Structures are given as structure tokens and as C-alpha cells.
Amino acid sequence: MAQVYLGLGSNLGHRRDKLRRALASLERHGVHLLRASSLYETSPMYYGEQPAFLNAVVYAETELSPEQLLDAAKSVEAELGRQERFRNGPREIDVDILLYANECRASPELTLPHPRMLERPFVQIPLAELRGEPAADTSAEIRRVEGPAWTKPEPSIRAFVAIDVSDELRRQVANVQAALRPVARDVIWVQPELCHLTLQFLGSVPPPALPAIVDACRAAVAGTSPFELRFGGVGTFPQVRRPRVLWIGLTAGLDQLSRLQQHVQRQLANIGFAPEERPFSPHLTLGRFRQPPRRADASALEAALQRYQRTKFATVSVAGVQLMRSVLHPSGPEYSVIESFPLIG
């Protein structure tokens, strides 16, 4: 067995999840984790116009040769959706061989030790941590965000597949909510910045299931071109006299949206996610009633909704689908993007 040090980094999508999935994939390729550094958030070093990176260094052992290990690293990057852009640009995942036992070599394919590791604080600091050495002084913007326990299995993830909406529509949502508050008093209002169109709710998902979900979503959007959705009208479910949900509806783009939702549903059904029993009824949720309003309040609400019956809201350009994580807090849900899937036709 050869002892190796690998550098991991990501600055696109759910970065921490990408690093954990890279470890799991490396294990399948015959690279066995011994220890991991803490996670560090680092400002981009070579090209500044991109998101911050999450970096770590891991110490592992393997029976793979250096060339086989390089092939495994490239396979892991491909499995996690890395796209080739420009040099030192953003990336979904980066797996670098830093050190391989005592190997010293230089070839067009592989140089060991890694030729730029000494100039990179996002390598030197976690590497020093792993080796129990003092970290080099650096003025680089780097901070420790989590200890080595980031590698341990996570609890289930509450996940859903959705389409994002525009800031213009979110502003309009806020305006409608403000106008309806006097006649819809016992409502839990959706924060406008959290508004989205749900294509399928997945419930609690074990982290090992995420790669299959990502593959299913990628297959679902294949061949779908960008399209537009037009929003208009405000209504309630199930009926205005005993409402449970307040919503903004759609007036155009429904056919394309329904076809996309069917593709998503079909691909997820193939990996064990049962389709919704209710028919797909796309809408933008404004709020949910804690309890049905009294008769007088229901009449006032009905009159207020009549004023929005022909209201036209923003047109949203749909350029992609997102796999989302939802974390529930007493103050309300928090959403983050696990993976994005562009519509490229």
C-alpha cells in the first residue's frame, strides 16, 4: 500500500457535499481514507471573479500506481459533473495528487510532488494540520469552517426538485402579500426570497442516494430547451371560503413546464421515488393558513382576490432545474442548492 496526500476543492453547487461524495467515490476506486484535515474556505487565488472555494487535504492509502491514481481522480471528477472551462476557473470538484509516497517524477501527465502545492495556502495549511506541523504564515484569505468530522456520514437530507424564479417576481410576491395581510390574518407567509416552483418533493433522502438523484435529474432535463413562464392571478386551494393555501398562478408556459415535470417524475420513479398521487398543479405559494378564516374574513379575502383575477405578473425565463436541500428551523425553512441542471436543448 502506498500512502498518498490528495487535495480536494469545490466552489460550485453544494461544496461540502461534493467533497464528501468525492471521498466516497475515491473509496470505490480503491483509495482508502486514513485521515482528513478540517474544511477551509478560501478566496480564489488565481482568478478572482468566482465564488469562494471549500478545500481540504486527505491522507489515504492505495494499491493503485501513480498513473492509476491519476485516472481514478479524473474519473471521480467526471462522476461529480466537473465541466472543463478555463484554467483556474470555477469547478464542481477538483481532486489533485499532492504526494505519492516518496515518488519524485515529472512528465506531461503527472508531476510529483504537485508542482504548485508550496505556493497554495489552501494546500499548505490543511497539509500542515494533517502532519501536526505549524502552519506557514500567510496573508491569504482562508478560514477554517469545520473540523475533520466533515467526513462522517450525515443525517438524511430533506430534498426537492424545483425551478427558481426571478427577483422581479419575488418583489411582486412581497407586494401582494403586503396587500393581502389585512384580510388574511392567520397565515404563515412564505418569505419572497424562498419562492420557487416545485417539480417534485423527495422527502428525507439518505446522502448515499444523492448521486443517483443527480443522475436522474440530469437525464430528465436532457433535450429540453429553455422556455418562459408567465405568471398571473391570485387564488386559493381548495376553495376561497375554506382556503388552506394562497397562490399566484401561471398563464403561459404550462405545456413546457408539465412536460419537464413529467420527465423529472419518470426519471425519479426509475430509482424508487413514487410519483405524486395528485395531478401536477403548478403555482407559486404565497402563504398557508393556520386555520380557515371566519366567514366575514373569507368574504373580505374573496373580494381582495377578485382584484387580482386579471393581474399579470412577471415573465420568468426557465434556464435550468435545481435539486434543493431544505433545513427546517423554528424561524422557517432554509434552502440551499445541491446541484443545478441547465436546460441546453
Predicted confidence (pLDDT) per residue in 240-261, tens digit = 888 999 999 999 999 999 999 9
Confidence at residue 325, expressed as pLDDT on a 0 to 100 scale = 95
CATH 3.30.70.560 fits 2-151, yes or no: yes
The domain spans of the chain are 2-151, 157-342
Quick one: 157-342 is in which CATH superfamily? Cyclic phosphodiesterase (3.90.1140.10)
Residues of the chain with pLDDT under 70: 136-140
Query: In this predicted structure, what is the pLDDT of residue 239?
Result: 86
- Is 114 a known active-site residue? no
Considering the entire predicted model, what is its pTM? 0.58
Other CB atoms within 10 A of residue 203 CB? 12
Which of 32, 114, 196, 263 is catalytic? The answer is 196
Residues 6+ apart with CB under 8 A from 278: none
Give the model's pLDDT for residue 140: 65
User: Is-contact 62 3, C-beta < 8 A?
Assistant: no
Question: Which three-class secondary structure state does DSSP give residue 206?
Answer: coil
Q: What percent of the chain has pLDDT over 70?
A: 99
Options 14, 114, 263, 283, the catalytic residue? 283
pLDDT tens digits, 85-103: 888 789 899 999 999 999 9
CA angle 222, 223, 226 (to 5 degrees): 100
Count how many residues are written for the chain. 345
Q: Quick check: is 32 catalytic?
A: no
pLDDT confidence of residue 139: 59
Where do we find the cell 376553495?
A: 239
Helix ranges (DSSP H) in the chain: 15-28, 66-79, 121-131, 167-180, 210-221, 254-269, 295-306
